[in-house]
Amino acid sequence: MGFDLSKCIFSECAGECLTHCPYISYDEQQAKEAIRTLIAGKTAPIMSECITCAACNDFCPLGANPWDLIAQRQEETGILGIPEDAKPASDWLIKPEIVIRGKEGGPLISMGGIYEVVPQTEFMTGTMFEDATLIGSGKIACGFTETHLGRASRPLTYLTEFIANLTAEAEKYGVDEIVFTHDACYNVATTIAMREHTEVPFRPVHILEYIRNWLRDHPEQITPLNLKVAIQGGCTTRYAPTGGDHEIWSDWLNEIFAMIGVESVEEKRTYTGDDRLCCGSAIFHKEHERTMDIQHMNIQDAIDAGAERYVFICPACISIMRGTCRKMNLEPVYITQLVKQALGEDLGKAGTAAFGYPVK
């Protein structure tokens, strides 16, 4: 990650970074002009039009990471309108440090800082998590959320502290692995830490890898669901380590689906893979109508592809999209709740998607 000027070669591309952006209508000339302007250190309309979905990093055929350039300029100029004295979430999400103590020797699961905005403890229940210890607070939040708030440097400036705080938690609970419920923390502890040559003394485990492994060990408890589902891949999944030519999380998810009798309709969708649409969390309050338009396009696409459920991996995505999903009669389901259904377990008061983020 990080914008790579040496790879941004205008003669070898067609400005795909911005011509492919689904939220603006730029032609090749406009796209290249916008990037040239940003490289020159000037301001361009794309800085405020961008909804911080990170997709253009995937669209650029030369791997120049143009979103990192846009995000850098957003931060330098404060164009997203974040008050200067607004503290990063990893500073203010310090209360309380959630600990639900599981059994000694059980897995340690980090909900990062996001648990306060989108409470997750109700979803980490049932036999898959009965031995798990759950932790969450600002000090173990990676800071990736800040990239949506005009502070894209936060995951980097906080990286050493983030890893050190998690390492202390691993030592405290006597484990050498930490499971992450949010892609952001997982990807910062893997992709970003590797890029920055930051040693990670524990093994980061993605929630999907954890669930996949658990299901492999308990096949006798599964009753296939026989459902067709669409998937919301969040912005942070674009930072996932790759397995061959794809993001590694999709391997775990496909194996989970195969084990619980769920068929993905993603191959039939327009907005999938690199072209998947953002949940709109970054503009949900300040550009509400625009967010709703994006969500309608996205959910209708899933319905048209034959989806009977909309499956979410990211807690933030489901909190932002669950209302629209329900209005459009496509039930949103958080991944742990979907698997619990295949295990015949009670979903509790949380149901499939009762996250607490205030919805307009």
Report the interface residues with ligand SF4, using CB under 6 A. Answer: 8-10, 13, 15-18, 21, 23, 32, 35, 46, 50-56, 60, 62, 64, 66-67, 70
Q: How far is the CB of 21 from ligand SF4 (least distance, A)?
A: 3
Q: How far is the CB of 44 from ligand SF4 (least distance, A)?
A: 11
The string of DSSP letters for 144-185 reads GGGGGGT-TTHHHHTHHHHHHHHHHHHHHHT-SEEEESSHHH
CA 207, CA 6: separation in Å to the nearest integer?
A: 36
- 139 or 238: CB nearest ligand SF4: 238
Q: How far is the CB of 199 from ligand SF4 (least distance, A)?
A: 30
Q: How far is the CB of 45 from ligand SF4 (least distance, A)?
A: 11
- 49 or 345: CB nearest ligand SF4: 49
- 35 or 118: CB nearest ligand SF4: 35
- 21 or 248: CB nearest ligand SF4: 21
224 alpha-carbon distance from chain centroid: 27
Q: How far is the CB of 25 from ligand SF4 (least distance, A)?
A: 11
Q: How far is the CB of 135 from ligand SF4 (least distance, A)?
A: 31
What the block records as the tokens of 230 is: 């669409």
E strands in 137-287:
177-180, 203-206, 227-232, 242-243, 246-247, 262-264
Contact (CB, 8 A) for 82 and 151: yes
Q: Is the dihedral of CA 186, 225, 352, 125 positive or negative?
A: negative
Length of the chain: 360
CA dihedral 23, 27, 28, 32 (to 10 degrees): -60
Q: Is 244 exposed, middle or buried (0-12, 13-18, 19+ CB in 10 A)?
A: exposed
- 8 or 317: CB nearest ligand SF4: 8
Q: How far is the CB of 51 from ligand SF4 (least distance, A)?
A: 4
CA 40, CA 205: separation in Å to the nearest integer?
A: 40
